[in-house]
Chain A
Amino acid sequence: MTSLSLHASLKELTLSDVSVGYDGSAVVKNASFQLLEGQIGCLLGPSGCGKSTLLRAIAGFESLMSGEIRIDGDVLSSPSHSVNPEHRFIGMVFQDIALFPHLTIAQNIAFGLSEWPKVAVQERVTYLLDLVGLAGFESRYPHSLSGGQQQRVALARAIAPKPKLLLMDEPFSGLDAKLREELVPDIRHILQHEKMSALLVTHDQMEAFAMADQVSVMDAGVIHQTGSPYQIYHRPETRFVASFIGHGDFLPAVVCGANCVHSDLGNIRGELDHGFADNAQVDLLVRPDDILHDDDSEFLGVIVSKWFRGSHFLYRVKLTSGKVIYCFASSHHNHAVGQEIGLSVHLDHLVLFSR
């Protein structure tokens, strides 16, 4: 390995049946997914679901109980073999930022470039500081920077050695909401500009949707579904994904045809076959934007509570069967709690789970 040789950029990261655990009990069970060149992936799940452990396993800080982690065909981790973290060419950004307090910003960024010639290091540091919008901060120390600035330095430090892959462990959780909103598109832009493949861990779905091309939803150590943000929102494959992502209710229904179910809100037809047998008892996922307020509808519900959201109202409505669901209405349709309103369903894809 010569120092300046740029490691060919990542073609693919492959996890196959990876299990990670301590003392014989698995924290991550049989995780499999692929990440392709230039993509930003995301592990999304509630806290304690094992997503950070999986990330640390990819970085080489956890050993595997079973399965394999490969980059471009080379095995990085298997139960019998593990490449040391420092030889993986994988960069990492940490939740607590972890800048070295005794080094200046420039020295922090140059930390991973110890084998580069001096001139090249200088050039790289200047370039990166410029890229993350911190030109002129070279000789400052980390403690004099704000949280957002520190996070940018941490990013610059991680991508300075041009790693094959960048891992980010809840990188925005320590920042306030406004700063996060600014930083997320910035960082996505920087990563795309550098053509850097990256994997992000977060429990915040808005962050995941804003950053990632591909989201893997995890719960209790298991990856439930991997797909684009659109797919996991509109085509959830498991009950957990359906309820974890976005607002939604499960409406009891009975199958009445290849693309039809019957529910409290009448017969609902999708564009595609759902694959359930006739008369099967199922639950239909309905999102607030699937149910619209419609004065002409024959299906009625009583408003239980309401929230004014500026452009629209979000109503919680109790159907005649007693089931309570969300419903959007334009902000001109101002109804009082306790009033009865008409509802209609607008669904083109039926998401069903057997009951």
Chain B
Amino acid sequence: MLIAVILAIPIMVVLVNVLIGDSQVWRHLYHTVLAEYISNSLLLMLGVGIGVLLIGVPCAWLTSMCDFPGRGALSWALLLPMAVPAYIIAYTYTGVMDFAGPVQTFIRELTGWRYGEYWFFEIRSLGGAITMLTLVLYPYVYLMSRAAFLEQSQNTLEVSRTLGYSGRAVFFKLALPLARPAIITGLTLALMETLADYGTVQYFSVNTFTTGILRTFYGFGDVAAASQLAGVLLMFVAVLILLERYSRRRIRYHASGLKKASSRRMTLKGSQAWLAFIFCLLPICVGFLIPVGVLAYWAAFKAEMPGANFIQLAWNSFYLAAVASLLVVSLALVLSYAIRLNNGRAVRASVGIAGLGYALPGTIIAIGTIVPLAWLDHRIIDLVRQYADGKVGLIFSGTLVALLFAYVVRFMAVSLGAVQNGLGKIKPSMDMAGRSLGMSPTKVLTRIHIPLLKGSVLTALLIVFVDVLKELPATLILRPFNFNTLAVRAFELASDERLVDAAPASLMIVLVGLVPVILLSRSISSRLG
């Protein structure tokens, strides 16, 4: 209960600031840039939304309902781009596609044109940001809609064929509407990530809420205005959360009573099969193979040799991620057991609040963290000054404590989900069975709960570990002075236009990020097998 309340502090702080705050800077923001932030954020969401739907849904349909050569491998490889953080794919493609990059250089050499004499897609633009985000976020839609298609009963689809619908009509009249709640859920997840993105839009100089928040925070040093911006962003997020919850409820409704799909798929032949193959291969190439290949090439041949500095960075990242994931998962265990032992409304509600963090952009959480912690620090300093002569520094803000706290808030939901999933499989009757077979409560814990929970706890640890490693905006704001991680370093190098030198750090993040994606795809294929 207490944990949950503490975890809710950042959201509360931001909300309160929206309601009461009114500063000069805010008014200034309102008159100058707010409209731009809103329109850019909306355009970004619109573009990414259309993009992920156009890639995710057809790929899901092809891999779940049709059969063509390579389908099995493609159906899990389509998840791979999830491992690439948006800012890293953005750096990579900028390096490849901008004026000095190999693509434009090649065109110039081939044609003899010079600067300004030809048009080329400007990647550092709103359109570029939309493309980049689409490439790494479509797996959310793919994953959800694929699950929905697979759950649809073959019978339902066949009945409509016997009633005179063609294959295409079945897709639009039946399969798509049935899968709509799942697709919307995937879409909202992708849009939440879009709103949370900082690295890409900042690098492409697209002014959105996240960049605005950081600029207000650093540039004006105005925490109040920054948190007011965060508050507006929070409203966008709230809409998405509501939409997501609503469509999840409908998934349950739609899926009721449907039996498991039989594995009869439409077999595609000849050119159709080739088209399907290429259509599914394309997002994998553009979203994963090309950028990772380029990164690997840069890291191996072009970048500065990583030295002691790099090892220090890697150590910082791993250490931070390890501590954070242990902390998050232990708290998740405590909360889950609280629910199990006392399934009251208050406990459940507070756990629900604790789980909100994942939907919130890192910037909001960072602002929500730093405000109360700074206040607390100053109270402590005052207190010490009053009663003793000693001087104390900042205990919470600007230290790893603040950073860890923000991670806990942000990633609690993920680990809660995994842990509760595991705990849900241990039915209460198993506890009773253990007791009636002569086990004391502690023995029930060690001999039944711990062995059964091991898997899901490890999964939770792993997911949080990787997420922390990839996290950029919250780390950027809250990290102690001169404390760098791989993600921050890649961001800094990229901002200094040293894209190639950022490659080793980026590659490392992508490779570590691959682990949970592989786990996920394995669990999907085992469920089907």
Question: A residues near B, CB below 8 A?
Answer: 56, 59-61, 84-92, 94-96, 98, 100-102, 111-112, 114-115, 157-158, 160-161, 163, 167
Contact = CB atoms under 8 A, between A and B. Distances in A.
B437 A161 contact: yes
Interface string B396-419: 000000000000000000000000
Interface in B425-454: 425, 427, 429-430, 432-440, 447-448, 451-452
B430 A100 contact: yes
A96 B429 contact: yes
A161 B448 contact: no
Contacts of A92: 432-433, 436
B435 A61 contact: yes
Contact of A100 (B435, B438, B440, B448): B448
Interface of B: 425, 427, 429-430, 432-440, 447-448, 451-452
Given A95-B429, A98-B429, A90 B436 contact: yes
Contacts of A114: 438-439
A94 B429 contact: yes
A54 to B, nearest CB: 15
A160 B440 CA distance: 18
A226 to B, nearest CB: 24
A87 B435 CA distance: 9
A83 to B, nearest CB: 12
A167 to B, nearest CB: 8
B437 A112 contact: yes
Contacts of B425: 101
B439 A61 contact: no
Secondary structure at the B interface, as helix, strand, loop or mixed, is helix
B436 A86 contact: yes
A3 B447 CA distance: 19
Nearest to B433: A98
Contact of B432 (A61, A84, A87, A115): A61
B435 A102 contact: no
Contacts of A88: 436
A161 B433 CA distance: 13
A91 B430 contact: no
A94 B433 contact: yes
A87 B440 CA distance: 9
A90 B435 CA distance: 10
Secondary structure at the A interface, as helix, strand, loop or mixed, is loop
12 contacts: A59-B432, A86-B437, A91-B436, A94-B429, A98-B430, A100-B448, A102-B452, A111-B447, A114-B438, A115-B438, A157-B433, A167-B436
Contacts of B440: 84, 86
A194 B225 CA distance: 77
A224 to B, nearest CB: 27
Which of B433, B434, B440: most chain A Cβ within 10 A? B433
B82 to A, nearest CB: 29
A148 B437 CA distance: 21
Contact of B437 (A56, A95, A102, A157): A157
Contacts of A96: 427, 429
B436 A59 contact: yes
A222 to B, nearest CB: 25
A85 B451 contact: no
A89 B437 CA distance: 8
Nearest to B450: A102
Contacts of A157: 433, 437
A98 B429 CA distance: 6
A56 B432 CA distance: 9
A60 B435 contact: yes
Nearest to B438: A86
A101 B424 CA distance: 13
Nearest to A167: B436
Contacts of A98: 427, 429-430, 432-433
Contact of A102 (B427, B434, B436, B451): B451
Contacts of A84: 435, 440
Nearest to A90: B436
A156 B427 CA distance: 19
Contacts of A89: 438
B395 to A, nearest CB: 43
A91 B433 CA distance: 8
A85 B429 contact: no
A68 B160 CA distance: 64
**A-B interface, 6 closest residue pairs, ranked by CB to CB distance from nearest:** A112-B437, A98-B429, A85-B435, A94-B429, A92-B436, A98-B430
Contacts of A111: 434, 437, 447
Given A95-B429, A96-B427, A101 B452 contact: yes
Contacts of B432: 56, 59, 61, 85, 92, 94, 98
Given A60-B436, A98-B427, A158-B436, 16 more contacts: A61-B432, A85-B432, A85-B435, A94-B432, A95-B429, A96-B429, A98-B432, A100-B448, A100-B452, A101-B425, A111-B447, A112-B438, A114-B438, A114-B439, A157-B437, A167-B436
